[in-house]
Structure 1
């Protein structure tokens, strides 16, 4: 049986968080623990965590720092990082367990947009799958790994964006980082709000700027200005 810690960064997204915690609690195979690291230090988030018996931890509002905080507190032999607005497949823990049995140090789920979907999703999903094979899958794809591999790879970077890039590269140097066939569903609300192609264009430009060496803090400020 997989001894798994779930770590969820949250920032003023309590409704989605409640949905995710309910899903985790209804799984046939349950995690050892759920740790929610709250960047807003909000009483409403703490109440949601109390309701679903998740551990609430206050943090500064920086996703990379939140993830590092959660990982440092986790007790499981394996770590699973989720976003508060993810929707889960039927047996995600079983899928992760099978990947570890095949010798993987970790992996990630297949990216799928949740409902309501648009036609653009049919083009973007295979493009994202292709990028993940040759580049880096991002945190909304349910990254998971052994605890030992996480710390050996250096953990998340303490950044507000692209915090998983060095981690994934480190994990791939350690061993097999496996893409799963099982899908994890990503809330499309921001794509609907900003426009599917506009948001994709902004995201790609940010990734290119990061690859050129622009500081993540500057990119985060640019991201907020273009998507708010």
Structure 2
């Protein structure tokens, strides 16, 4: 094992009362080893913050948007390794030993492979493509539990305050420092959005959004499309 490191896990949440307890309970063994768990709520009205409070070291409030929330969590974090975890994603049981290998490496950042919770074969295919694409491009999506050395995150001034694609934008900058440290042990991400919206519809939507982003379209316009098509939320 390398010299001890302090991990700060930052979980941005909004209206996650239905699942936040399950997510945070799974992280309690890490807290028992003195690692830090920070929940950043964006003004939920369903009791998310209240449910999270006894299961986190800190629950703070911030403006809406994952980039804003993750930056707010990082600003109060004490750890020398920051890990950003979606509220519907669970780390593998051996996450700490995997991250210890990262700390011993010369890499500045990294991510886990991902597995979707759905049981159908198509979900395995989707996850395989997500992981292979990430290896080839050096780009990480939020579903893959991005982690980064604190000094690197601060030097890059964190996430750009974008309404969408903040993970991809950050990856593009941090991969100039190093290629990602890729952990093959997967995190498990809830497949609810794929199941609710339809697998093929969701695939085409996400690829279309990424294509529009790479062509330089405004993240604001992309966020509007995402809310309208996936979340069925109107501005």
Alignment equivalent of 2:121, drawn from 119, 122, 125: 119
Instruction: Give the equivalent residue in structure 2 for 1:148.
Output: 151
Q: TM-score, normalised by structure 1?
A: 0.93
Matched, 1:223 2:234: no
Shift of 1:29: 6.8
* 2:161 matched residue in structure 1: 158
Q: How far off is 1:126 after superposition?
A: 1.7
Find out whether 1:182 has 2:196 as its counterpart. no
Cα pair 2:14 2:43 within 8 Å, conserved: yes
Match of 1:62 in 2: 65
C-alpha distance in 1 between matches for 2:10 and 2:93: 19
Task: For residue 119 of structure 1, report the CA deviation from its aligned partner.
Answer: 2.1
Mapping for residues 168-207 of structure 1, pairs under 5 Å: 168-207=171-210
The residue aligned with 1:33 is 36
In structure 1, C-alpha distance between the alignment counterparts of 2:91 and 2:79, rounded to whole Å: 20
Q: Contact conserved, 2:39 with 2:56, CA < 8 A, in 1?
A: no
1:50 maps to 2:53 = yes
RMSD: 1.7
**Given that residues 3 and 78 in structure 1 are in contact (C-alpha distance below 8 angstroms), is that contact kept between their aligned partners in structure 2?**
yes
TM-score of the pair, normalised by structure 2: 0.90
The change in CA–CA distance for 1:198 and 1:41 in structure 2 (over 3 A counts) is closer
Residue 101 (str. 1) matches residue 104 (str. 2): yes
| 3-state DSSP of counterpart to 2:113 | strand
Unmatched runs of 5 consecutive residues or more in structure 2: none
Residues 107 and 178, structure 1, Cα contact 8 Å, conserved in 2: yes
Asked if the contact 1:106–1:144 (Cα under 8 Å) also holds between the matched residues in 2, the reply is yes
Equivalenced residues, count = 227
Seen in structure 2, the aligned counterparts of structure 1 residues 177 and 89 have a Cα distance that, compared at 3 Å, is same
Match in the other structure for 1:128: 130
Task: Describe the SS at the equivalent of 1:104.
Answer: coil
Q: Which runs of 4+ in 1 moved over 2 A?
A: 26-32, 40-43
> What is the rounded CA distance, in whole Å, between the counterparts of 2:68 and 2:107 in structure 1?
26
Per-residue CA distance 1:163-216 (angstroms, 9 max, x = gap) = 122322222211242111110001001100000111010000000001111111
Query: 1:131: how far off?
Result: 1.3
Segment drifting more, 73-82 vs 11-20: 11-20
Deviation at 1:154, TM superposition (A): 3.2
Aligned counterparts of 1:64 and 1:155: Cα–Cα separation in 2 = 8
Once the two structures are superposed, the pairs formed by residues 6-21 of structure 1 within 5 Å of their partners are: 6-21=9-24
Q: Does the CA-based 8 Å contact 1:79-1:144 persist in structure 2?
A: yes
Give 1:121 deviation, angstroms: 1.3
Give 3-state SS (helix, strand or coil) of 1:174's partner: coil
